[in-house]
Amino acid sequence: MWLTRPFRERATRLFLGILLAALALVTLLNLAVPVGHPLHVSTYAVTLLGKYLSYALLAVAVDLVWGYLGILSLGHGAFFALGGYAMGMYLMRQIGDRGTYGDPVLPDFMVFLDWDSLPWYWLGFDMPWFAFLMVLLAPGLLALVFGFLAFRSRVTGVYLSIITQAMTFALMLAFFRNEMGFGGNNGLTDFRELLGFDLRSDATRLGLFLATGIALALGYVLCRAIVASKLGRVSVACRDAEARARFLGYRVERFQLFVFVVSAMLAGLAGALYVPQVGIINPSEFSPIFSIEVVLWVALGGRATLYGAVIGALLVNYAKTVFTGVMPDAWLFALGGMFVLVTVFLPKGIAGLLCLRLRRRAATSQPTAGEAAT
Amino acid sequence: MRMLPRFLSGLLCLCLLCGLPLAVQAQDDPGQALLDPLATASYAEKGEAIEAIIESGDARSRRWLEALLGGQLQRHKNTGRFVVVVENRGRNWPVVDALSFEDAGEMSRRDLDRIGINNALRGQLQGALAVLDLHADEVAERREAARALLGAVDAGLVEPIRAVIDGEEDAEVRRLLEQALSIQRLEAGEVEAVETLSGSLNAQVRSALNAASRSEDAELAAAATSAMADIEQKMALNRGLETLYFGLSLGSVLVLAAIGLAITFGVMGVINMAHGELIMLGAYTTWAMQQLLPGQPGLALLLSIPAGFLVAALAGVVIERGVIQFLKGRPLETLLATFGVSLILQQLVRTVISPQNRTVVTPEWMSGSLMLNEGLSLTLNRLYVLGFALVVFAVLMLVMRRTRLGLEVRAVTQNRSMARAMGIRATRVDILTFALGSGVAGLAGVALSQLTNVGPNLGQNYIIDSFMVVVFGGVGNLWGTLVAGLSLGVINQVLEPWAGAVLAKIVVLVFIILFIQKRPRGLFPQKGRAAEG
Amino acid sequence: MSFLQSLADRDRVFDFLAPAASPVDVRHGPILYLEDVSVSFDGFKAIDALNLTIDDGELRCIIGPNGAGKTTMMDIITGKTRPDTGSAWFGSRHDLLTMNEPEIASLGIGRKFQKPTVFEALTVFENLELAMAADKRILPTLTARLTGEVRDRIEEVLATIGLIELRHAPSGILSHGQKQWLEIGMLLMQRPRLLLVDEPVAGMTEQEMERTAELLTGLAGKGRQSVVVVEHDMGFVRSIARTVTVLHQGSVLAEGSMDRVASDPKVVEVYLGTEEEVD
């Protein structure tokens, strides 16, 4: 079975082991260690970690298309935000009549805009199953349409990067408009509960953290399974020699589209997990800068490794939290510097460094076939 | 009483000998002679005196007549000096001299005689004031005055205006005045007036015709309606031209922003995401120049053109040597690294200068507008930027087509190793090309500083648009960039009225995204084998 | 509208009803048939009224000076370039001009590029695995498993191209000649009916060249595969050619056995003549 193939890989088992152990440890330190103890992990920190994990899932999604398909998407923030908005719409509907204006159906901002009924695209979002389905379908559909058009006409490389950026930019402008019915500038916020759980309670927050961790694990396994399958090898083939793959009889555009859509759905899932933890979704998630920052996480961690994306996302976001707390002005310098240094001096990222060490160790013990040939 | 002025003149002669310049003015000032006759009891004589003032063309006439109309023009009982009362409260009134309009301290109200007027004179004064500026020496002022009379003529003014028309040399002033009279006749219900008014785009004419078209007089209403339709047609044409102008103006900005990119991206194949920040540097150079040359914004702006080019070109060279040369043949990595550079540059400006927007002054010769007709005027700064963009484009075309550098650039981009084999120093060509593209970005910044706010985010706002223009026009084709930039600008402006600015932008972006799917190589693709790689 | 009309068309065979990978019909003649094909780039006629037929099982060499249109001809056959006029048939049933590259490839036309292109990040084994004739749609590819049969077939080809030792090496580290063989090996995995080979021996040593000649003649010799070789190297062409076609300025100048072609005065004038003078 292709889905279980990753469990046979040592690296994947190691990754999953570390991830699950970390989840368990954080839970333990949050629940079992008393508040005030130096080892106690506060609920605030748990939520922060949960946010990082949702970013990590987004980074894995980006790595899937960039690392293995060679498509540098500068618009994955759009899929992330769409998933987030789908979740946000559900959470808005859950507020019910507890909003400032007390309208049982309409969210506050619609009352404020004098709307008298829900727009059609808000219908159904009071049902969790529908909303969660849309978390995957909305970004998936956008990726399907966009990718279909782009790959069919063989827009690749830099051109594709630029038009993905234009896509997320256009969406950002659109979502800024109040008339769109997504809360305009302010976005969606003031959420109360998710599936009946109070979003402000510590238990819910821990639960969300764990759910994000598990989603990351599952997303990772899914990507790993795709990558380790023949389809993954075809993807790499499309990345490195598109024409050759075509002449071998592979419809390159369909493979690109498939992987792109899967990746967009994962990004949407990440966005949906992100929103209840940070408590807001607004158009800034569509900003081109965010999308390109995600690419940096992947580049820093090491592309085409998947676990590198996770490492990069966690590291950069932790650094961001620290920096913006200590000296906010320096953060953009640090971020900009990272872009330059990683691309110029560390093209394979941190994972590349790790691999190099592992391979050296392996090389000293027993030379592999490949190295023997060189 | 008649003796007093003579006596005063004598006194003033004395003062002259003592070297009191003020008094000299009073003596020589023809104004005194103009005002003196007002100090008579006869309203008929006063009327003649007012006529004399109007015909004198003296620059102070308006202020005198206004003061006279307001009862502020008064005469000192003892000295015969004319003053204008600033405030008539209390016992002592602050006054200004009626000749020099300089502060003349306070005078007791008991010492002052008000120059009285009656209703007939009041009417005469009002009419006179209205047509007063029609006697100005400058044609432009007379035209302005005539324009102000459109829709403001009442029956009492008809005669004075007729008199002015007869004496007026400038045809435009005469035409405007005839129009003003026609509006008055139209309002009085004369059908013939419609004919002289038809075809005019003036807002007053239109509102008068509009009112007339609802008149109860069927003939008048019909004539006015048909004249209105005629005017509407002209207005529509005007609006179209105006949209086109704004579109071309926006397009010229896009062309300026994109043309540097067309060189670095289109010709060299280097993705420079910091291109927007190079534009920003150009804009800040203009600001800095103006700080260095305070009070001479025009000179500073002209000097900014070479300075902005050099600053941005230098920054471009640093980026090329520092980052891009290590990433040859890795376009996606180049994109990321230069994006990092753009973040650094932005933050640098925020830290060193300020996160706030800076004001760049528009020199006088660039402000104002060029009036083509009464419904259409073109703002000068946009016109200059449009012209500047075309000049920059023409120069770039010349550089690429006619110079050694252009030849070498094309050689290196087409076949690097062959070019090197022929003795072209490819590295040098890389640096120069990148400096050229970057410098042009700096020029764009200089131009943009005249149209938008200069702030750290200036460049960011243009980078996506610039890439869109280059891709839309066809990479590697400067003409394509020109056509794409201008047409996108026009499309945007055409969409704006019914879609709103933001939606228009979205529509244009989506249009380009779809267009690229249809024609991945842009409007003007390079054909054949060269394009296959 | 045209879509609706096509639905109403009684004779229309829907894609999903058509038999999968309909076999190439060569009962009525040649396997490849180009008639009156022309294509121009920016006014330059790369191919000018070209006529070419390749018989089933034939090994054909195509020679011609630079710019004669050899590579462009291959681009047309494999669907990369669309001609301005003319027709191209694969067997008597398949109009190549209505199909895209993967469709043409699935039909059984394999192509080897002038510059060896293999998937450098993948191992030699994986390269061959991807090339293998199989269901190349998405889900079957996702769930595909390496059966013993497939393994045997790959091993067989590995032996043919002499890369058994290097089967798990990333193909990026192979030498130029090894990459050429791997690419030929990938074409073998594809089991094509027609093999287009563009300059297979460019940059090869003498021994490598001999081995390549063996590979190619062996292929055509088995009878079910037709091979078209475009080559500059006269010695190599002489060593493998049965029929030679000379292209010049986008159309056929001469055709026949190597000796006959070599003695044709037209050919000597435009091509061999100058070549011999240079030699």
Task: Please write the tens of the pLDDT for every residue from C20-39.
Answer: 444 666 666 788 888 888 88
Specify whether the CB–CB gap between A49 and A26 falls below 8 A.
yes
Lowest mean pLDDT among A5-9, B164-168, B438-442: B164-168
Q: Which residues contact B220 (CB under 8 A, 6 or more apart)?
A: B189, B191, B194, B212
Q: Same structural domain for residues B117 and B259?
A: no
Mean pLDDT of chain A: 87
pLDDT digits (tens, 9 = 90+) for B398-444: 988 888 888 888 788 777 778 887 878 888 888 888 999 999 999 99
Task: Identify the CA nearest to A53 among candidates A180, A248, A213, A204.
Answer: A213
- Chain B interface, Cβ < 8 Å to A: 271, 323, 326-327, 330-337, 339-344, 346-348, 350-351, 464, 467-468, 471, 502-503, 505-506, 509-510, 512-514, 516-518, 520
Q: What are phi and psi of A198, to 5 degrees?
A: -70, 120
Res A347 pLDDT > 80: yes
pLDDT digits (tens, 9 = 90+) for C28-87: 678 888 888 888 877 778 888 888 888 887 888 888 877 778 888 888 888 888 888 888
Is residue A307 a part of any domain in this protein?
A: yes
Question: What's the average model confidence in pLDDT over B455-476?
Answer: 84
Complex ipTM = 0.86
Tell me how close the Cα of C134 comes to any Cα of chain A, in angstroms.
9
pLDDT for position B283: 92
Last residue of a domain, one of B121, B139, B160: B121
Does the beta-carbon distance from A174 to B520 stay under 8 Å? no
pLDDT band for position B5 (cuts 50, 70, 90) = low
pLDDT digits (tens, 9 = 90+) for B228-279: 788 888 888 888 888 888 889 889 988 988 988 888 887 777 888 899 999 9
pLDDT digits (tens, 9 = 90+) for A89-107: 999 888 877 878 878 888 8
pLDDT digits (tens, 9 = 90+) for C102-114: 888 888 888 887 7
Q: Of residues B496 and B15, which shows the higher confidence score?
A: B496
pLDDT band for position A271 (cuts 50, 70, 90) = very high
Cβ-defined contacts of A175-179 (< 8 Å, 24+): A175/A81, A175/A85, A175/A282, A175/A283, A175/A286, A176/A283, A176/B502, A177/B502, A177/B503, A178/A109, A178/A113
CATH fold for domain C23-278:
Rossmann fold (3.40.50)
Is residue A374 a part of any domain in this protein?
A: no
Q: What span, in angstroms and rounded, lies between the C-alpha atoms of C175 and C166?
A: 11
Confirm or reject contact between C3 and chain B (CB < 8 A): no
Torsion of CA B251, B257, B260, B263, to 10 degrees: -50
Q: Which residue's entry shows tokens 């000293």?
A: A364
Q: What is Dmax (Cα atoms) for chain C?
A: 65
Last residue of a domain, one of B67, B100, B121: B121
pLDDT for position C28: 63
Specify whether the CB–CB gap between C178 and C166 falls below 8 A.
yes
pLDDT > 90: percent of chain B = 14
H or E element in which residue C152 lies: helix C148-161
Q: Which residue's entry shows tokens 């748990």?
A: A46
pLDDT digits (tens, 9 = 90+) for A176-223: 888 888 888 888 888 888 888 888 888 888 999 999 999 999 999 999
Does the beta-carbon distance from C168 to A369 stay under 8 Å? yes
Q: What span, in angstroms and rounded, lies between the C-alpha atoms of B3 and B6?
A: 5
Q: Of residues C179 and B391, which shows the higher confidence score?
A: B391
Question: What's the average model confidence in pLDDT over B513-530?
Answer: 67
Is residue B409 a part of any domain in this protein?
A: yes
Q: How many domains does chain A have?
A: 1
Q: Which residues of C touch A233 (CB under 8 A)?
A: 119, 122, 126, 129-130
Which of B332, B336, B513 comes nearest A166 by C-beta?
B513
Does the beta-carbon distance from A296 to B336 stay under 8 Å? yes
pLDDT band for position C220 (cuts 50, 70, 90) = low
Res A369 pLDDT > 80: no
Q: Same structural domain for residues B285 and B431?
A: yes
Q: What span, in angstroms and rounded, lies between the C-alpha atoms of C27 and B27?
A: 124
- Which ranges constitute the DSSP H helices of chain A? 10-31, 43-69, 76-95, 108-112, 128-152, 157-176, 202-228, 230-240, 242-247, 252-278, 288-301, 307-326, 328-345, 349-365, 369-373
Q: How many domains does chain B have?
A: 2
Bridge-based pairing of strands C194-198 and C109-112 is: parallel
Cβ contacts below 8 Å, chain A against chain C, sum to 99
Is residue B211 a part of any domain in this protein?
A: no
Res B27 pLDDT > 60: no
Find, in chain B, the residue whose alpha carbon is nearest to that of A159: B471
Interface of A with C in 213-242 (CB under 8 A): 226, 229-231, 233-234, 236-237, 239-241
Residue B482 domain boundaries? 237-362+386-526
Is residue A38 a part of any domain in this protein?
A: yes
Interface of B with C in 499-528 (CB under 8 A): 527-528
Is residue B464 a part of any domain in this protein?
A: yes
pTM, 2 dp: 0.79
Residue type, B168: E
Tell me how close the Cα of A56 comes to any Cα of chain B, in angstroms.
19
Record the tokens describing residue B300, joined without a space: 């500073």
Last residue of a domain, one of B82, B106, B121: B121
- Chain C interface, Cβ < 8 Å to A: 78, 80, 101-102, 105-106, 110-111, 113, 117-123, 126, 129-131, 133, 136-138, 141-145, 165-170, 173-174, 186, 190
Mean pLDDT of chain B: 80
Confirm or reject contact between B529 and chain C (CB < 8 A): yes
Does the beta-carbon distance from C42 to B529 stay under 8 Å? no
Domain definitions of chain C by residue range:
23-278
pLDDT digits (tens, 9 = 90+) for B296-341: 888 888 999 999 999 999 999 999 998 888 888 788 888 889 999 9
pLDDT band for position C255 (cuts 50, 70, 90) = confident
pLDDT > 90: percent of chain C = 0
Mean pLDDT of chain C: 78
Q: Which residues of B touch A340 (CB under 8 A)?
A: 323, 337, 340-341, 344
Res C193 pLDDT > 50: yes
Find, in chain B, the residue whose alpha carbon is nearest to that of A164: B513
pLDDT for position B529: 40
Interface of A with C in 256-275 (CB under 8 A): 258
Residue A350 domain boundaries? 5-368
B126 CB neighbour count, 10 Å cutoff? 15
Q: What span, in angstroms and rounded, lies between the C-alpha atoms of A231 and C241?
A: 39
pLDDT digits (tens, 9 = 90+) for A304-345: 889 999 999 999 999 999 888 888 888 888 889 988 998 888
Q: Which residues of A touch C173 (CB under 8 A)?
A: 370, 373-374
Which of B327, B331, B517 comes nearest A344 by C-beta?
B327
